[in-house]
Structure 1
Amino acid sequence: MRVLSATVLIALAALSCTSVLAQSPLPTLGDGSELTASAERRLGERIVRALYRDPEHIDDPVLADYVQGILQALLGAARAGGTLSPEIDERFAWDILLSRDRTVNAFALPGGYLGVHLGLIGLTSTRDELASVLAHELSHVTQRHISRLITDQDRQTPLLLGAMLLGALAASKNPAATQALVVGGQALVLQNQLNFSRTMEREADRMGYGLMAPAGFAPQGFVGMFDKLQQANRLNDNGSWPYLRSHPLTTERIADMQARIPPGQATAQPPTLEHALIAARARVLASPGVDALRQWIAEPQATGFASQPVPRRAAALYAAALASNQLRDAAGARAAARALDDLLRDEPAARRLGRLLNAEIELAAGDADAALAALPEGSARRPELLLRMQALLHAGRPGEGTAALQTWIVVHPGDASAWQLLASAWQALGQPLRAVRAEAEAHAARCDYGAALDRFRAGQDLARRSTAAADHIEASIIDTRLRAMESLLREQAAER
C-alpha cells in the first residue's frame, strides 16, 4: 500500500504538470523554440562527430563542391529575402555531409548541417530537382524546426510519463488496462508530434519554393522531385525510400507545389550535361562492389547506345571511366574518358568535370605529371586544389601547392581534407611541427576535439625540443589552439 500511495502521488504530480502544459499554446510558425542558436550548433556538432566516423561518410571533392555550390546559392537567396536571421547565419555551420548510402534520403541536423545520401543525388535528373530537396531541408533549419521539435518533445514527456505511471497503478487490477493506458499515452504523444511535423513539412515546402527562383533555380524542380518520389513510393514500399518515411509525401503537398507553378511554366527543365555527370558519379561511388562497377563499364557497349540522347551517353561514359578507374583499369578508364571528351565540347561546366576525371585517372595510374597537366594552374576551387596537391605530393614537389592550400583554409578552416593534405606536404618538406598542427586541425574540423587535443599536446612536446626560430611562432599557435580545445572539451563534459 505504501508503494501504491507513492505511485499515486507521482502520477498526480505528473498529471498536474500535464494540466499546466495543456494550458500552454502550441508553438507558432517561427516561434516556440527554447533552444539557443549556440546550443543547437553544439548539439549538431555532437551528432556530426559520429557521422564523420561512419564508414559510409565520404568527402568526395567533386560531389561536395557541386552540392555545396547549390546550398550557397540558396543561402544567398535566404539572406536577401530575410528568411535567414543574422544570428543563425553567423552561428550555424552550413555544411554538407555526404553518405555513400544508396537509399534516397536527405536530412537536416541541428546547427546548420545537412546530410545527403548519394542515392538521392543519383536519382535526380536536373540541378533544380536536387536544389528543391536542399531548399526544403535548408528551410527546416532557417525556421528552427529542429529546435522547436526538441522543445515540443520536452513538453510532451510528462504526458508519456503520466500514462506509464497510471498504467502501473492499474496493473494491480487489470493487466490489459495497463497496456491500453501506456499505448494510449504513447499514441497521444506520437500523434501530437506527427501533426506538428506535418505543419513543418508544409512550411518547409513553401519556404523552400520561395528560395528557388531568387537562387537561380527553376521552381519546377519541386514538382519534378515530388513526381519521382511518388513513383518510387508506388513501385517500392519495402523501406528502401527513407526520405518518404521521414518526409511523408501527401497529396496535399504535391497539389500545393503544382498550384504554385505559373501557367505555361510547368514543363520541366532539360537536364544539363554537368548534372548528368554528377548524378552518374554519385551512382558509381554509391555502389563500390565489383559486380556493380562492371555493370557501369558494360553500359556503353550495349546495342543502341549511339542512339541515346547526349546527356544519357555522357553519363554512361563518365560512369564507365570512373568505374574502370575504381578497378585500377587505367587503359579502360582512359578510353572511356576520351570518348566522353568528344561529347563535352559545348558545355564548359561539363568540360571541367571531364578534366577533373582525367586528372583522377592519371593520378591513380601513377602519372603525376599527366594529372597536373589536366588541372589548370591557379584555380581556387576545392576539387582542383586538393587534386593538384595530391599530384604534387606524388611528383615530389609539395612546396608548389602549400601556398594555395593555406589561402584556402584561411577562408575554410573547417576543411579537414585540406588540413590533412597540408600535414602531408609539411611533413615532406621537413616541417614536422607544422605537420602535427595540421593533423590536429584536421581532427578539430571533424569535431573530434579529444583527438585534436592529443595532437596539439604532441606539438607542444615537439616544440620544446625544437630550436628553429620559425617553430616558436608555430608553438605559440599550438598553445592557443590547445587551450581552445580544452575549453570545448569542458563544455562537452558540462553538457553531458
Structure 2
Amino acid sequence: MFKRTRSMVCLCVATALATPTVTASSIDLPDIGTTASGTLSIAQELQYGDAYMRMLRSSQPIVNDPVLNEYISTLGHKLVANADDVKTPFTFFMIRDRNINAFAFFGGYVALHSGLFLHAQSESELASVVAHEIAHVTQRHLARSMEEQAKRTPATIAALAGSLLLAIAAPQAGIAAITATTAGSMQGTINYTRSNEKEADRFGISTLAKAGFEPQAMPRFFGRLADDFRYASKPPPMLLTHPLPEDRITDSRARAQRYPDPRISSSLEYHLARARVIARYAGIDAKSSLDWFDRTEKKAQADLQPAFQYGRALVYLDNKELDKAAAILQPMAKKDPNNHFYLDALSDLYLAQDQMAKAETMLVNALKASPQNPVMTINYANVLIKQERNQDAVRVLQRYTHDNPNDLNGWHLLSEANIHLGNSGEDLAARAEILALKANWNKAIQYYTQASQLAELGSLQQARYDARIDQLMVQRDRFLALQ
C-alpha cells in the first residue's frame, strides 16, 4: 500500500456547459500553465494511475456494467475531444456508492459515484461533473499539489503521491492526515486546493462549451447541491473536502452567462442510464425503485417516458416477472432497434425465457451494425456459453480480451467457458489476469505457474504462459517500487 502521510485531496464535483460555436479563445482563461514537471513526469503519472486503479478494483465496488460503461465512456471522451492540454489517455468508470462524489487521479482516470445519477437531473449536469474532473487531470492538479507539499515536507515523492491518492478514495483519512500538519501548512494546502477547484471550473466550462452542453447547468447543479446539504449533519464526502462557498457558485454563474444558451433537448440516453442505476445500483428494493419511477415520471417531459418504462422493465426482469418485462421491452426495441440499453435487457430476457436462438439472432444482427461493440460482444459470448457452445465463446472472448484487456467481464466469461471445456490451464490464465488487474501479483503469478505446469512440456502454450509470468514479475516489481 502507499504510505499514509500528509495529504490533500484533488477531487470534487463540478458543473459547466457549452455550445459548439464557442471557441477556447472566446473566454479569458488565465495562462497558468501545467507545470509540475519537477515532481512527476507524465510517464510516472501513468504508472501511478495504473497502480492505483488496480488497488481500487480490489477495494472498491466498481460497477462492471457494459452498458453503463459504454455510456459514461462515450460521454467522457466527447468531452476529452474538446478539452485543452490533454497529455494522457482517459478512462472513465463508476463506483457503486450512493454518496455524491466524483474524482480524478493520475493517468487520466475519472471515477463517478452512482449517487451522481440520483442528483444530476440532466446529461448537461453530469457532463459538468466529468468536465471538471477532466480539467483536474489536464491541469495536473495532483502533481502540482505535490510540488506545493514538497516545499513543506521531507517526504518522498512516493509518500506524497500515496497520500494524495489515499485522500482521493478516502476523504476522511485525507482530512485526518491534514490535521497532523502545522496550521500554516494546512492553510496553504487548503488555499491551493480552492484555487484548483476554481481553475477546474473555468477549464471545465470551456470544455463543455466546445462540446455543446448547457452552460447554466453548472451553477444550477452547484446551487442545488449547496442548498440540499447546507444544514446536513453528514454532507457528502465531496463537500467535506471541497465545500461550495458562495463565491465559487457566483463565479461559475457569471462565467456561464457569457456563453450562448444552446437550448439542447433532453438526452434519452442519460435518462436510460439513470434508470438503470436506479433499478440496479441505487441500493433500494424493487418497490422503492418502482415508486421512484412513478414519482419522477410525473414531473418529467413526455419524450423521456421510455426511460421510466425501461427502468420498470429492469426491475421486473431482475424479479423474474418476465411477462411484464417483455411487454415493455419488445415494443421499445422494435421502435428503436439499435439502442444498446434495450438490446442488452432483451438479451437477458431471452436467456431467462430459454429462448437462446432468439437472443443469438438479435445479437448477431446487432454486431453486424456495430462490429466488435463491447456491449454486444459480451452479451453474445454469454449467450454462446448458455448454449454450451463454449469453444465458439472462447474464440470470441480471446479476441475481446486482447482488445479490452482491462475489462473484468471478458476474463470472467473466458474463465467460465474454459471451465466448461475442461481447459484448466486456460481457466487459470484467465483468473490470473483478473488477479493482476486487482494488483494481486503473487497469486496471479502462482496461477500462471500452475498453468505452465499443466501445459505440454516445450509447447507454444507453455511458452506463452512462461512469457506472461516474466511480464507479471516486471509489473509487480514496478508496482512495488512506487511505494
TM over 0.5: yes
Q: How does 1:340-359 map to 2 (within 5 A)?
A: 345=335, 351-359=339-347
2:98–2:282: 8 Å Cα contact kept in structure 1? yes
Q: How does 1:17-416 map to 2 (within 5 A)?
A: 29-32=33-36, 33-54=38-59, 56-78=61-83, 81=84, 83-85=85-87, 88-89=88-89, 94-157=90-153, 186-234=182-230, 237-261=232-256, 265-266=260-261, 269-289=264-284, 292-298=285-291, 309-338=301-330, 345=335, 351-375=339-363, 376-378=366-368, 379=370, 380-416=372-408
1:125–1:271: 8 Å Cα contact kept in structure 2? no
Tell me the SS of whatever aligns to 1:57. coil
| Counterparts in 2 of 1:184 and 1:115: CA distance versus 1, 3 Å | closer
Flag the structure with larger Rg: 1
Tell me the SS of whatever aligns to 2:115. helix
Q: Which residue of 1 aligns with 2:459?
A: 472
Structure with bigger RCO (C-alpha 8 Å, 6+ apart): 2
2:382–2:393: 8 Å Cα contact kept in structure 1? no
Structure 2: which 5+ residue stretches go unaligned?
A: 1-31, 156-177
1:220–1:267: 8 Å Cα contact kept in structure 2? no
Q: Tell me the TM-score normalized by structure 1.
A: 0.76
Shift of 1:183: 8.0
User: In the alignment, residue 151 of structure 1 is paired with which amino acid?
Assistant: E
For residues 360-407 of structure 1, what are the alpha-carbon distances to aligned partners after superposition, in whole Å with 9 as ceiling and x for unaligned?
A: 233345443343344324442211111111111011123334444333
Once residues 390 and 198 of structure 1 are traced to their aligned partners in structure 2, the CA distance between those partners, rounded to angstroms, is: 47
2:56–2:438: 8 Å Cα contact kept in structure 1? no
For residues 111-155 of structure 1, what are the alpha-carbon distances to aligned partners after superposition, in whole Å with 9 as ceiling and x for unaligned?
A: 222211111023223322222211111111121111222332233
Once residues 144 and 416 of structure 2 are traced to their aligned partners in structure 1, the CA distance between those partners, rounded to angstroms, is: 43
Once residues 212 and 293 of structure 2 are traced to their aligned partners in structure 1, the CA distance between those partners, rounded to angstroms, is: 33
Tell me the SS of whatever aligns to 1:156. coil
User: In the alignment, residue 476 of structure 2 is paired with which amino acid?
Assistant: L
Higher relative helix content? 1
Q: Which residue of 1 aligns with 2:472?
A: 485
- Residue 454 of structure 1 is aligned with which of 446, 459, 467? 446
Q: Tell me the TM-score normalized by structure 2.
A: 0.78
Shift of 1:253: 2.8
Shift of 1:105: 0.7
User: In the alignment, residue 297 of structure 1 is paired with which amino acid?
Assistant: L
| Counterparts in 2 of 1:348 and 1:324: CA distance versus 1, 3 Å | closer
| Counterparts in 2 of 1:183 and 1:150: CA distance versus 1, 3 Å | closer
Structure 1: which 5+ residue stretches go unaligned?
A: 1-27, 160-181
Q: How many residues align?
A: 425
Report whether the alignment pairs 1:433 with 2:425: yes
| Counterparts in 2 of 1:305 and 1:145: CA distance versus 1, 3 Å | closer
Once residues 187 and 370 of structure 1 are traced to their aligned partners in structure 2, the CA distance between those partners, rounded to angstroms, is: 66
Once residues 283 and 384 of structure 2 are traced to their aligned partners in structure 1, the CA distance between those partners, rounded to angstroms, is: 27
Once residues 197 and 259 of structure 2 are traced to their aligned partners in structure 1, the CA distance between those partners, rounded to angstroms, is: 27
| Counterparts in 2 of 1:61 and 1:238: CA distance versus 1, 3 Å | farther
1:392–1:398: 8 Å Cα contact kept in structure 2? yes
Shift of 1:95: 2.1
| Counterparts in 2 of 1:367 and 1:298: CA distance versus 1, 3 Å | farther
| Counterparts in 2 of 1:332 and 1:288: CA distance versus 1, 3 Å | farther
Shift of 1:457: 0.9
Tell me the SS of whatever aligns to 1:84. coil
Identity of aligned residues (%): 26
| Counterparts in 2 of 1:243 and 1:370: CA distance versus 1, 3 Å | farther
Once residues 139 and 63 of structure 1 are traced to their aligned partners in structure 2, the CA distance between those partners, rounded to angstroms, is: 22
| Counterparts in 2 of 1:308 and 1:110: CA distance versus 1, 3 Å | closer
Shift of 1:43: 2.9
Once residues 102 and 185 of structure 1 are traced to their aligned partners in structure 2, the CA distance between those partners, rounded to angstroms, is: 31
Tell me the SS of whatever aligns to 1:96. strand
1:104–1:240: 8 Å Cα contact kept in structure 2? no
